[in-house]
Amino acid sequence: MISVRAFRLVGAAGLLAASGLDAVTGTAAPVPTQHRAVPSTKTRSHQSAAKQAKTSDNPSKIVAHSESIEVSGVRRAFTHLAAQHLADADTRLTGERLIERGVVDLRGMERVAPNLTIQSINGTASTNFYLRGVGFNDFTQNNMAPVLTYFDDVPFAYSTMANGLMFDLEDATVTPGPVGTKHGQTTTGGEVSFRTNGPTDQFHYGAREDIASYARSRSEAYISGPLARGLSFRLAGQVQKGGGWQTDPLNGAHLGDADLWALRGKLKWAPDSHTTVLLSAHVVQDDSELVGAVPIAKLIGKGPLPEVGWTQTEWNVRPQFADLIGRKRGIKPSEHDWFWGWDLHIDHDFGIAKISAISAFETEREGELSDQDATALSQADAYRTIDANVFTQELRLASAHPQDRLQWVVGAFYQRSFMNQRFFFDYTDYRPARGYMQATTFGMKQESVSEFGHLSYRLPKNVTLFAGLLHELDDRSITGLQSQIFGRETMNFHSEGTSVSQFAGQVGVSWQARDNLLVYYKMSRGFKPGGFTANNTQIQAQLDPFRPETVLTYELGFKSDPIANVLRLNGAAFYNDFHNQQILGTVLIPDFGPLSQLTNAPKSESWGFEGTIDLHPIRHLFLTQNFGWQRGNFQNFPTVNRAKTNAYYASHGVWKAIDDNFAGVDNGQPKLTLNGQVDWRQAISSRYGIEFGPDWSYRGAQAMTPGGTGFYRLPPYFLLGAHVTFRPSSDHWQITLYASNILNRHYYTSGGQATTNYFYIPGAPRYIGGRISCGF
């Protein structure tokens, strides 16, 4: 039994080690490179230091007042040591690091990983992903994304379903490139996966309160512990309020407040040492207001654009439109969303192999009002409802002993989804071209099944060969599409379907040249099914399905810790060879105008590199720098040139499609992305410590349309933040002061066109806040 005095010594030693000091001598604390990384006292379950001391596999002996104690509170300079021996370019982040960087939603992940872009669609909760230049802009969110979101090994077919779930996290991983031969669903761009904290065998509880500028508050709490022998639970939740920083210059009205709550519960049953059954369920309600757009250019018509300041935006919802969509008059652009679901994980170890079964069901009920012309006029006011559900089932059988030369996994994955959407548009003030209200309704059905396998074999001299293969059948259809112009006509369109049977795979080799150096090369083929454009349909041809996308990716990388616990260098170079890359193009509808339509670029390519530098040069200083650089171009992409088509209409008053081929044109993705953080960790006494430092991110310019220049190209931006954290050695609580966008830079996160205007979605101004958390 460890005494209270000993417990305090353990906590103090862990804090000193976190600052790079030996608990007794105050000198730099060496940590052998071959030992597994030891968790900090800041663990997800807030285990006591005494318990950690008993379970450590890398103890440090401390002698004080004739007491000898094993301490496992050592916080290594770098995390995820075991991953340094994996042949991948993944970015891995602890839940603690996400909190430090203020990453509380999907969009925030682009600030902590290279070559990753996650953009809000018109300021809404819906998002589009781009990773290594792979991605597309899908406003209707009814197609499979090239980059999938996972929570606890469950893929979310529609990224909006992940809204509100980023709390009580254990860790996050960004995986670039084709995936699917080891688990889940294949795709071309990669995945962003999150693992949430699980039930614990001892009682733990905690809470966090975050208050910042513009009356923003974020509250979290959890409780976890045993219920009976072999049975434990965890319950966690969050509430987000306020934070809106935009006003309407016409009337001073306020916009942008968050109004979200979420709850997650887990029940774990371990009937024996070989079997685990984990049932999880969650629910999210989001009534948050949107971020309003800023009109940048007048594309159609001669009226002036609103003059708005950096934190201003205009909007208006006509009473007639509010009555039509069934919402209260005077409503602001906002969400009215419900998400709920459950998943069941069953794992059993047979000794010679392990089996895992994952069943999941996710539901989305969305009502989303946006003002897409960003003016007080009703030229492009939109309201979207989505009723969707997805069932997935995965079964995996894998080798049981990680030390064996042969490692293998085989499995199957099944997905079935249903979706019904209805779009309402108010074009009343868009005259003379339209001047009416309109609704588009459609249904989606999708079903897919895949079988996958992956194996690796370790040869002599630490050389490992690996290969994987996947086959997938996918069938999807769009049904019952109707376009209704109120007071005029109703158009009904016949159903369309598309199906595909294709293979994906991977082959590669890795070499553990030294204990601290891994090099690897791999080739991966990925594909994703075709789909449909279902927004603002006017003619049957708009429902023609776009074709499946395939990519062959070549990747060469390395992972190294050249100076143990002082310097880590990881990097990878890649080349993507695309066929039929799915991309948002343009189609001209006679007497209507140009509309966005998902289509295929027959041939395109992208290439680049990415990497991470972790540096601990002196005892208190810890630095992380991610960098990504990528280029790409279309080798063959015939489409309508939207900019030239709009310009012709402005000059002649007649719609005429100006056809073009964007062969040789840059793919428009940000060429350079940088993000990083510096921490100074200092023990200020035997009982307390402090951490402080800046963080930063830079994003290069991004073309929002193929070949886009001028205002069609989103400007680059640089953001600077900082934090200071005070905590006791026990780490049962901590207090943080922080600031984001310290320089109060004016920047834009995405852009688009809605009928008459081209607009940008502005980023948040400077926030100054404080965060207090406790855990026991």
Q: What is the mean pLDDT of residues 96-124?
A: 93
Q: What is the mean pLDDT of residues 308-325?
A: 94
Over residues 560-587, the pLDDT tens digits come to 999 999 999 999 999 999 999 998 877 7
Over 90: is that where the pLDDT of 139 sits?
A: no
pLDDT of residue 541: 76
Least confident piece of the model among 45-49, 445-449, 475-479, 678-682: 45-49
Q: What is the mean pLDDT of residues 353-360?
A: 97
Over 70: is that where the pLDDT of 24 sits?
A: no
Over 90: is that where the pLDDT of 222 sits?
A: yes
Residues 747 and 697: beta-carbon distance below 8 Å? no
pLDDT of residue 76: 64
What are the beta bridge partners of residue 62?
Answer: 69
> Both tokens of residue 372?
């897409």
Q: What is the mean pLDDT of residues 254-279?
A: 97
Least confident piece of the model among 4-8, 215-219, 605-609, 670-674: 4-8
Least confident piece of the model among 16-30, 107-121, 240-254: 16-30
Specify the pTM: 0.88
Q: Is residue 355 part of a domain?
A: yes
Expressed as residue numbers, the domain containing 468 is 194-775
Question: CA-CA distance, 158 to 3, in Å (whole number)?
Answer: 52
Over 50: is that where the pLDDT of 34 sits?
A: no
Distance of CA 680 to the CA centre of its chain: 28
Q: What is the mean pLDDT of residues 202-220?
A: 97
pLDDT of residue 752: 86
Tally of structural domains, the chain: 1
pLDDT of residue 704: 86
Over 60: is that where the pLDDT of 5 sits?
A: no
What are the beta bridge partners of residue 78?
Answer: none
Over 60: is that where the pLDDT of 38 sits?
A: no
Q: Is residue 218 part of a domain?
A: yes
Angle 356-362-366 (CA atoms, 0-180°, nearest 5)? 160
Peptide bond into 432 cis (omega under 30): yes
Question: CA-CA distance, 4 to 69, in Å (whole number)?
Answer: 12
Over residues 433-491, the pLDDT tens digits come to 889 999 999 999 999 999 999 999 999 999 999 999 999 999 999 999 999 999 898 99
Q: Is residue 602 part of a domain?
A: yes
Domain of 703: which CATH number?
2.40.170.20
The rounded radius of gyration (Å) of the Cα atoms in the chain is 27
pLDDT of residue 548: 95
Higher pLDDT, 657 or 590: 657
Greatest mean pLDDT among 39-48, 496-505, 541-550 lies in: 496-505
Q: What is the mean pLDDT of residues 191-196?
A: 97
What are the beta bridge partners of residue 517?
Answer: 514, 560
% of the chain beyond a pLDDT of 90: 72
Over residues 368-401, the pLDDT tens digits come to 999 988 999 999 899 999 999 999 999 999 999 9
**Burial, 1: exposed, middle or buried (Cβ in 10 Å; 0-12, 13-18, 19+)?**
exposed
For residue 326, report the phi and psi dihedrals to the nearest 5 degrees: 80, 25
Over 90: is that where the pLDDT of 299 sits?
A: no
Residue 33's pLDDT band, with cuts at 50, 70 and 90, is very low
Over 80: is that where the pLDDT of 537 sits?
A: no
Look at the block and give the residue holding tokens 């669903």: 185
Question: CA-CA distance, 246 to 254, in Å (whole number)?
Answer: 6
> Both tokens of residue 160?
């909006």
Residue 521's pLDDT band, with cuts at 50, 70 and 90, is very high
Over 70: is that where the pLDDT of 68 sits?
A: no
How many CB atoms are located within 10 Å of the residue 79 CB? 19
Q: Is residue 577 part of a domain?
A: yes
Q: Is residue 83 part of a domain?
A: no
Q: What is the mean pLDDT of residues 160-175?
A: 95
% of the chain beyond a pLDDT of 70: 90
User: Under DSSP, is residue 713 helix (H, G, I), strand (E, B) or coil?
Assistant: strand
Over 80: is that where the pLDDT of 50 sits?
A: no
Higher pLDDT, 31 or 613: 613
Over 60: is that where the pLDDT of 619 sits?
A: yes
**Average pLDDT of every residue of the chain:** 88
Residues 618 and 576: beta-carbon distance below 8 Å? no
> Both tokens of residue 740?
């984001």
